[in-house]
Amino acid sequence: MIRNVLDLLPEELNQCLLDIGEKEYRAKQILNWVYNNYTTDFNEMTSLSETLRNKLQNILSNSIPTIITKKSSNDGTTKYLLSLQDENNIEMVIIPNEKKNTLCISSQVGCARKCKFCATAKLGLERNLKTHEITSQVFLAIKELGDDKLTNIVFMGMGEPLDNFENVVKAIRILQHDLCFNFSPRRITVSTSGVIPQIAKLADTGLKLKLAVSLNSAIQSKREILMPISKTFPLSELKKTLIDFRKKTPYRITFEYVMIKDFNIGRKDVKALLKYLGDISCKLNVIKWNKVDDLPYETPSTREIDRFINSMNILSSAVTFRKSRGADIDAACGQLAAKNVH
Ligand code: SF4
């Protein structure tokens, strides 16, 4: 089976080379080309003999997605539409901040979770991304930004990352490996809608990373409306799982809360949220709803947002109002829909 070079951990690449009668040190040379010189083209790997370069073409693939379009927002956020080998499309977004460049990556073509506030949900699930289709988004972003400029990676693009568990976990291992992308665990965040069994499984992998949970309501009946996953995995069970997860990780869990006018920012919502988060070591990120065509929700006013955020101040957890980025190019939270997906 031909495997993509961005699919492989160093020990797997070593094995591929041993299998064709090559020495292990060749793997380090290839890794150096891929992760320090940012090329997957074997012909450019001039420290390898021509014979080896030809052999590599027979055992490894080096394809990466093609950038079809690139749209930049007034605030510097850039959204990329990428075409995969089977001509499915996905999106990734680079969000610059004062000292940071955050890459928001996709884990699936579409998504099966049907969250009511999300543009991706309207696509349904086409398929899971393969490991190299995840790592290659990071590869492309580094090539776009330049070496050492990409600081953070968030799995908040298209798809529920924990529904593509094995490939996402493998991708994170490659992202963190010091001979590959060498990203610190605290710079990688996986955001989930709350897939309880997979959160528990993730905790047991021993993998270090930051976990974010898209909460959006602490009232069970309301969360079920916004996020049908809550019918299968209710808030009470989710909380227990997250408390267990927290015991196995050095990082606090982040809860994401999209503020929707006349839906989840009233007095009862505040009370339920304070109760739900009160005894968890966590952070709360609130963000205002970004309008998505055909969805019935509205953005709250500045006054409503301020009132909601002020009422959260009694929480001992850090509360951050995350500014919506890239809304003018449909690159903000919940707006990714790879409009050319077929
Ligand atoms: S919010 Fe995330 S989990 Fe929910 S439908 Fe959208 S992509 Fe899927």
Nearest-CA residue for ligand 1 atom 3 is 160
Distance CA 107, CA 163 (A): 9
Whether ligand 1 lies within 6 angstroms of the CB of 111 is answered as: yes
Instruction: Please identify which residue in the block is written with the tokens 């790997």.
Output: 45
pLDDT value for 341: 34
Distance CA 119, CA 223 (A): 17
**What is the CATH topology of the domain spanning 3-61?**
DNA polymerase; domain 1 (1.10.150)
Q: Which ligand 1 atom is nearest residue 227's CA?
A: 4
Whether ligand 1 lies within 6 angstroms of the CB of 277 is answered as: no
pLDDT value for 342: 28
pLDDT value for 336: 65
Whether ligand 1 lies within 6 angstroms of the CB of 120 is answered as: yes
Q: How far apart are the first and last CA of the chain?
A: 28
CA of 147 to the centre of ligand 1 (A): 31
CA of 125 to the centre of ligand 1 (A): 10
CA of 89 to the centre of ligand 1 (A): 16
Residue 25 CB contacts under 8 Å (≥ 6 apart), including other chains:
none
CATH of domain 66-329: 3.20.20.70
Give the residue ranges of the chain where pLDDT is below 70.
324-342
CA of 288 to the centre of ligand 1 (A): 16
Catalytic residue numbers, as ranges: 91, 333
Distance CA 129, CA 47 (A): 32
Claim: this prediction has a pTM higher than 0.85: yes
* Residue 21 backbone class (left: φ over 0; alpha: ψ -120 to 50; beta: rest): left
Q: Are 337 and 157 in contact (CB under 8 A)?
A: no
Whether ligand 1 lies within 6 angstroms of the CB of 115 is answered as: yes
Whether ligand 1 lies within 6 angstroms of the CB of 65 is answered as: no
Alpha-carbon torsion 282, 288, 289, 291, what sign? negative
pLDDT value for 319: 81
Q: Which ligand 1 atom is nearest residue 156's CA?
A: 2
Indicate the domain borders of the chain. 3-61, 66-329
